[in-house]
Structure 1
């Protein structure tokens, strides 16, 4: 009994937060005698201030290119110097790097496609949520070839941009290929953003050798033949770690780190078409999807209540809670919703009902065999659970396969369906059982 009350409290708190995260911004105007309320309700935001720590987090929905628009880019690969037999593999590798960079920048659903027109190798990128074309080009079009160069003379100290490669003409064997990982850090003395580098075992040895023979000199770090920094080497550096200092903002440092982690492009990419595109489906499709979901939920509710009575009412309540919880999780992660993703969510609603039907039908069988309602309730859940578990595991495996082998909107469908399945399992086994346990007591 105490356990049921505790679970009811947890479910209530979680549901309340889910509802507050999902409520739209709506004006609230109440005038009743001396009471006048003129406010606008907004979705829940976390606003935490603990001394120097300030955490402000909101949960706006994220929509894909088909619902919110974004950036359309056509990039042409420069195959000059690439052998004819190697062009296909270089083209495939370039597409993989572009897709990895977009995915590392945030959870979106990019559409990255290849197109070969004659001798022109093109990559078409559609990126939802990015309305600044130049930002998109900087993110995915940068070659990101990291090199380390040794200085030739004392003139390095008075170098000008026009003669940088002459000042540091000696290219070392240490490049971005030996990079293990890169991340944005902050200088502990100045608080300025910087990009830290960590090399693999081979890179660590190379870096140690390079710094040992350049003590008292500068070591230049170049990205695509542009100087990032040229620190003075005061001692041999072991451990394979380095830092790139520069006039970085946080966003610039993040983009550089992403480009380095995703790897250098095997061939340069030149933008030949850049444009912002509007939503192809837009608010109208979102409204129609919500209407279809509402109609489907209503039909399910009527069926469950007519077929199972009070059990159906409890299942419908659990289904409403499930809907709020799932939508809240989509916002918290956040998941970029496309029309395919919304379809995955609606499909998971039907699967949530399937679990309740399995449990209720099993309870009917237990009642037919002479068990009391309370006993049938316990046995129904216990004996239906293996079937529910196995069906959900097989569905999750399918989602995993779709996510691993798919891309773009297929991955979005797999993510929303998988989240919906996990929440539906919690809804059927925990929420419905707890509610029924409160109604039918021993």
Structure 2
């Protein structure tokens, strides 16, 4: 009997502990700012490097947050009757993506048919610049075909270089001021607040986090941290490619595993980046399987030199060096991390072709906790931004007559068929002719919606986009292409600004009624059930949170 009582008491204690843990977790989710202040205090005291809880604001609807309600009418006069609903859905998709890009949380975009008219209802909660949103929404979607940009970037002018040199000289002088202030006895945290130009870490006393060796731009900081102890502050600034850092070292920890591997790539006609295709996809798969069957630790480098399509590593036996997660495409990464050291796996398919992979090593590197005072350098890219990897071809939605979902007659694979007009036919044949083995990007409103590979020059004005499409994915792509091709314009016919006062008033009354009701229930539970009532009150409080 005593054993049973102890068992019951133990279950009750564990139950109460579990309820308390759930309470803390719920409280941290609801008011993360309070917990983050406590985390900052702990990190300053014992330097554990506890990460912050994300502070995501609650998404309020139009009635609570206020905003705008817009009604548009689509002009489908020139659209065949059977295509009108699909065309309007495509416009809805474009408007939704435009609104998302505008930064509106939880937008609501719906289509409606009123008689013979097609309308779009747009709710923009929390919008402040209604006129700008109206202008952006009302633009006709722009469809463009672009090719890989092989034009070398221009060099900096003498004036631009002089500007960079002048600003970097000023940055170096500021770095000297930081060091002088440190040597004069100013504490690290106040140096961060006074001098640091890293806004993200400045609000957390310069805390950057744990730095691995794989972050190339911070390699000098990592090397310094290797030779210093917890709590040390660099007595001079450490220069990197991006600026000057006065560094404070925290604790160290074991980081993500790094792997070393070699590979043999067999690309095929249509694979991404396959400059000299020798095989069809099925032939490449069979060739990769044949190489895998032959490969072992002794002959792998020789096979790579003989058969690999990857020119960047073919001369060193396919050696990729050491890398961490995120460095390779997902299919390759999954295969190499799941393999044992010394194991050869494959063929592994990626967008580049078929890989045979030899895993040669794995190690967990040490990461160092770093805080810094950061003085930024002016970089070439600040003056001369990086050029786009794509450039216009002159082919756009004006020359695309329509896109539709089709299936391959032999394999049954789902494809998207394109039909161009006469001008588009000539342009498309010219563009595909000079991009065989490369990719062409299809942009809608400046964002890529598909990047198919070119297998051969395509004439006749018809083309198909192939890929591992589901029917739904092909329908969405076709819809987006038609949105940029069909002349669907929209007209604003109603605009209504909605204040948040009505929803706020309703919310306030509901909150007061809810709180009063819950308090009455809690009082009744305590008076009538006493201790069990207290447990139920705690449970109810956790449920509410």
Bin of the TM-score, shorter chain as denominator length: 0.3 to 0.5
Q: Which has the higher contact order (CA 8 A, sep 6+)?
A: 2
Instruction: Select the structure of larger CA radius of gyration.
Output: 2
TM-score by length of 2: 0.34
Higher helix share: 1
